[in-house]
Structure 1
Amino acid sequence: MNWHFLMTHVTVKDGERALLTRNGRLERVLGPGRHRLFDPRNELAAEIFKVVRAEFPAERYLVLKAARPDLAAELFEMVETKADEVAIVNLDGRPMQLMTPWQARVYWKVATSVDVERIDMTADPRVTARHLAMIDRNRSVVVTEAVVENHEAGLLFVEGRLLERLAPGRHAFWIVGRKIEVKRLDLRPQAVEITAQEMLTKDRIALRVTLTAFRRIVDPERVVAVVPDVDAWLYRLVQFAIREAVAGRTLDEVLSAKAALDAELRDYVRERIADSGVEVTELGVKDVILPGEIRELVNKVVEAERVAKANLIRRQEETAATRSLLNTAKLMEENPLLLRLKELESLERLVEKVGRIDLHAGDGQGFDALLTKLVRLKPTESA
């Protein structure tokens, strides 16, 4: 805008509008083009605005509406939201703005189509898939999202009250004016390691026991109502159970009756979690850790038991071998042919280990004397 020789020149481009004021009061709106205005006292002023998908200050709109309601209705679209209401503003069919409760915005509508979709959040806290696609989820402060996996249970809490159990998938909710929380519980079996703690047996021997428990959530609604932390609660419960079981047993009973100890622990724990919505599928002792001097004594006892067992097995084998030799001797005594076969077998072993043998059978004895007199297990009758 410039002033020259009593005239004011204003150039308005396409996609723009100019508000022409005289001494601060609106006279008219200038459209695209070059305008020559008679202004001998230099009283005119033109303010140029972009009008394509553009906003106009709400405060100035209210002033303009009070002075020229007809002009305000022709040029602008004002969008206001109430309590518990959000609005999605579409400019030329594209969602451009999400308005929260108690907001007011003004848009130029001379070159842009302005459509408003209002959503009452009191009816349903859920955000539909169509509305969710229209919202910039990275910057939105009115929507919360949660994804429930196939192996999870999602519990919807509105203002601290359990409303429903959500199916697997993506869920979105309006959070303006309310507190919404989605608790996700893993329904798969989980392992809980109960670390070692020192305790005394019935015979006053200190030891430490580590256990492993496998638990599974079977009733999510019941779990959130009675158990604040499933793993911590189960951890303490198993600790109490093992202390009570060890305190009533001697060291030998703890070490020898592991199966009975595991069964007792499972019964103890299952009885106390029956109404909690948690199921313990397995529970057992993993390690029993003894003090150094006790461990040495136990090792010596175990070693002595193994030596004694080895000696017993060796004596049993020797007895069996002796009995076998006795039976063989009886058979050879009753059967001369069997004895002769045994003699020849001994001769075969001897020949395999000796490179050369010189034999003198005597005059007139021949080869028969060589075979009969070389090896004998039984003395001759003349001997």
Structure 2
Amino acid sequence: MFRKGITGLLGFDRVCVQQFETVLLYRNGRFEKALTPGRHRIRAGSRQLARIDLRPEVFRFTQGAVSADRFAVNLIYVARTQIVDPRAAFESTQNYRDEIYIRLQSIVKAVCSRKPRLEIQMDHQSFSNSVQKAASQVLRSIGCECLTFELLQVDSTGPVAELDNRRMGFTAHHSMMKEA
């Protein structure tokens, strides 16, 4: 009783909210308010607290997709996201991270299906900008935003990869023959 002090005797608890988080206060299962960084005194009783970390998160993906010209490609990319609406992120889904993961993969698949393979492979910046813009719109409904998206690597798979390898082999063989 002495540890809580006079406020504890009056039925209040202290809550310390870190600079990088927001704490959502629920009473009897209903949202009451969001606590900003700092110290707060809240009335004890039927309350629940949800701590939401607002620091940006980085997701790394390896994903297969099909381009507009029907070639299979393997993509490696990184997305940096951040919660912009803590209440929406907490209430809209059981696990917002899983939701971000699934939605980003769907967006990348959709953008790939609208661009030819060579454009995806040759213009990473344009592809990244398209995905980032679409991702920010889609993630907004779960209280998040896509801060950055970077396509790191694109590889062809299947018959096109074999064709590319044959061409490269032919080019290497042809240039070796020229040198001889």
Coarse TM-score class (shorter-chain normalised): 0.7 to 0.9
Judge conservation of contact 1:265–1:284 (CA < 8 Å) in 2. no
Runs of 4+ more than 6 Å apart: 142-145
Q: Structure 1 residues 276, 244: closer, same or farther in 2, change over 3 A? A: same
Instruction: Indicate the residue corresponding to 1:202 in structure 2.
Output: 68
| TM superposition shift of 1:207 | 2.4
2:124 corresponds to which of 254, 258, 278: 258
In structure 1, the gaps of 5 or more residues are 1-87, 89-94, 96-127, 135-141, 312-383
TM-score for both structures, normalised by structure 1 = 0.38
Q: Per-residue displacement from partner, 1:246-295 (whole Å, max 9, x unpaired)?
A: 22333222211222211221222222234543221111323324337644
Q: How does 1:231-380 map to 2 (within 5 A)?
A: 231-291=97-157, 294-295=160-161, 297-299=163-165, 301=167, 304=171
Amino acid at match of 1:243: K
- In 1, distance between residues paired with 2:166 and 2:12? 69
TM-score for both structures, normalised by structure 2 = 0.73
Identity of aligned residues (%): 20
Q: CA RMSD in A?
A: 3.4
Instruction: Indicate the residue corresponding to 2:44 in structure 1.
Output: 174
Q: How does 1:20-169 map to 2 (within 5 A)?
A: 129-132=5-8, 147-169=16-38
Judge conservation of contact 1:192–1:231 (CA < 8 Å) in 2. no
Larger Rg: 1
- In 1, distance between residues paired with 2:159 and 2:21? 49
| TM superposition shift of 1:143 | 9.2
- In 2, distance between residues paired with 1:249 and 1:302? 24
- In 2, distance between residues paired with 1:164 and 1:275? 20
Judge conservation of contact 1:218–1:277 (CA < 8 Å) in 2. yes
Q: Per-residue displacement from partner, 1:184-213 (whole Å, max 9, x unpaired)?
A: 1112211122x3233322333322223211
More helix by share: 2
- In 2, distance between residues paired with 1:196 and 1:144? 46
Q: Which has the higher contact order (CA 8 A, sep 6+)?
A: 2
Q: Do residues 189 (structure 1) and 56 (structure 2) align?
A: yes
| TM superposition shift of 1:218 | 2.2
- In 2, distance between residues paired with 1:225 and 1:158? 15
In structure 2, the gaps of 5 or more residues are none
